[in-house]
Amino acid sequence: MSSEVIEMGGEKYLLTISKDITDRKQTEETLRMYLVAMNASIDGLAITGQDEEYVYLNAAHAQIYGYDDPEEIIGKTWRDLYDAEEITRIEQEVLPRLREEGRWRGEAIGKRRGGSTFYQELSLTQMAGNRIVSAVRDITERKLAVEKIRRLNEELEQRVIERTAQLEAANQDLKSFAYSVSHDLRAPLRAINGFAQIIARRHGDSLNEEAQHYFGNIVTASAHMSQLIDDLLLYSRVGRQAVRRQPVPLGALLAQVAANLSDRVAETGAHFSLPDDLPIVSGDHTLLTQVFTNLFDNALVYRRPGVVPRVVVKSQTKTDAFIISISDNGIGIPPEFHEKIFSIFQRLHSQEEYPGTGIGLAIVKKAAGLMGGQVWVESVVGQGSTFYVELPREAREVK
């Protein structure tokens, strides 16, 4: 409002001119509100002008770039806040997209006062008159954490690879060791056995009963050790040769395995029941023979006194596997041993009760595993056991 005194015809008048400025006031109020909001922002906000110079920036923007006061940046251009490499990248990748699409959002590497760099998330909006509004957030900590996790993962993977290689080498050493030790033990054992037998034969008469008993023990023990060595060698040999997968008609194979046990069958009066519809499986003939020989043999060995062994074989065809079951009516196995018996040297009986070496089922498990299959048992003590052999229908590669 403005007032002025003017004279007209000797009279004095007071001229008052007033304008309605409510609109302008409101606009100013809104602008002030926006400014307060921008200064309260945790993200850096800035506007660059016609010549890429900063015309406005909030306190957070200055802080993010390491300046105490926004005034210190006013007049600088955005190029003062990035290093040469990043400026080139922004010119080549960011600005063309910003001009084209009016917006750009992504990550960049900013330069703080003093020259250190930091990762930032950057959002740019193109305005009229070549003005650009930018919002910037320091994401260095997040990036470093992600990078650290990535590096740790990489290191972990590398360590797993190295450890696996070490384990494989150690495993290989152990296999060769077991093989050569068992192999080398054979000769001295044969000597012990041979000489013990010579003494028993030639000088048996001059030995008293006690000495004869001990010599008998030496012969029995060395026979057992010989069996142990043979089984150990067999165990280490399983899988030494490449697994040769071929179609094997199980019906013929099992009939042959049962026929091979004819001595024990005759001795026990055992009865085998093999179904007619046994499948043709994909497996290694030698390994399959090994698996079923050991299972059939055990079914005859672990029989109940006075009970004629009955061995019933069944097969089940699933979408991806054949399951062959071998059931006996023998002594059964307590539940706590259902897994353990597949480990090497695990036996539940003394030599006197049931002779054996505790290697047979370990061979069964190893052989089935080499063919991509698995084995398990269900059993009730005093009633019998059923061993299951699962073999994949499609040849699966197993190392």
Instruction: Indicate the residue among 246 and 343 with the shorter CB distance to ligand ADP.
Output: 343
Helix H, strand E, coil C: the string for 269-310 is CCEEECCCCCCEEEECHHHHHHHHHHHHHHHHHCCCCCCCCE
Q: Rule CB under 6 A: which of 361-390 touch ligand ADP? A: 361-362, 385
Q: Segment contacting ligand ADP (CB under 6 A): 91-99, 181-189, 273-281, 323-331?
A: 323-331
Please tell me the number of Cα atoms within 13 Å of 272 on its side-chain side: 26
Distance in angstroms (rounded) separating the CA atoms of residues 207 and 311: 46
In angstroms, give the least distance from the CB of 300 to ligand ADP.
9
261 binds ligand ADP (CB under 6 A): no
Instruction: Indicate the residue among 283 and 330 with the shorter CB distance to ligand ADP.
Output: 330
Among 57, 229, 331, 368, binds ligand ADP (CB under 6 A): 331
Q: Segment contacting ligand ADP (CB under 6 A): 189-197, 281-289, 347-355, 389-397?
A: 347-355
Instruction: Indicate the residue among 196 and 361 with the shorter CB distance to ligand ADP.
Output: 361
73 binds ligand ADP (CB under 6 A): no
Q: How many Cβ atoms sit within 10 Å of the Cβ of residue 324?
A: 25
309 binds ligand ADP (CB under 6 A): no
In angstroms, give the least distance from the CB of 223 to ligand ADP.
14
Among 61, 111, 347, 366, binds ligand ADP (CB under 6 A): 347
Instruction: Indicate the residue among 73 and 368 with the shorter CB distance to ligand ADP.
Output: 368
328 binds ligand ADP (CB under 6 A): yes
In angstroms, give the least distance from the CB of 167 to ligand ADP.
25
Are the CB atoms for 251 and 278 separated by under 8 Å? yes
Distance in angstroms (rounded) separating the CA atoms of residues 299 and 11: 139
Which ranges of the chain would DSSP assign to H, the alpha helix?
A: 22-40, 59-64, 84-89, 95-101, 140-202, 209-237, 250-260, 262-268, 285-301, 360-370
Distance in angstroms (rounded) separating the CA atoms of residues 295 and 379: 14
Among 356, 372, 373, 392, binds ligand ADP (CB under 6 A): 356
346 binds ligand ADP (CB under 6 A): yes
Distance in angstroms (rounded) separating the CA atoms of residues 354 and 300: 11
Distance in angstroms (rounded) separating the CA atoms of residues 346 and 235: 14
Query: Roughly how many angstroms between the first and final C-alpha of the chain, as a whole number?
Result: 96
360 binds ligand ADP (CB under 6 A): yes
Number of residues counted as binding ligand ADP (CB under 6 A): 22
Among 44, 283, 309, 330, binds ligand ADP (CB under 6 A): 330
Q: Rule CB under 6 A: which of 280-299 touch ligand ADP? A: 294, 298-299
What 3-state DSSP class applies to 194?
A: helix
341 binds ligand ADP (CB under 6 A): yes
Distance in angstroms (rounded) separating the CA atoms of residues 107 and 357: 68
Are the CB atoms for 251 and 274 separated by under 8 Å? yes
In angstroms, give the least distance from the CB of 238 to ligand ADP.
13
Residues 244, 248, 250, 256: is their CA dihedral positive or negative? negative
Q: Segment contacting ligand ADP (CB under 6 A): 96-104, 166-174, 270-278, 345-353?
A: 345-353
In angstroms, give the least distance from the CB of 381 to ligand ADP.
9
Instruction: Indicate the residue among 261 and 333 with the shorter CB distance to ligand ADP.
Output: 333
In angstroms, give the least distance from the CB of 237 to ligand ADP.
16
Closest listed residue to residue 110, CA positions, set 78, 75, 141, 142: 78
Chain residues in the site for ligand ADP (CB under 6 A): 294, 298-299, 302, 328, 330-333, 341, 346-349, 356-362, 385
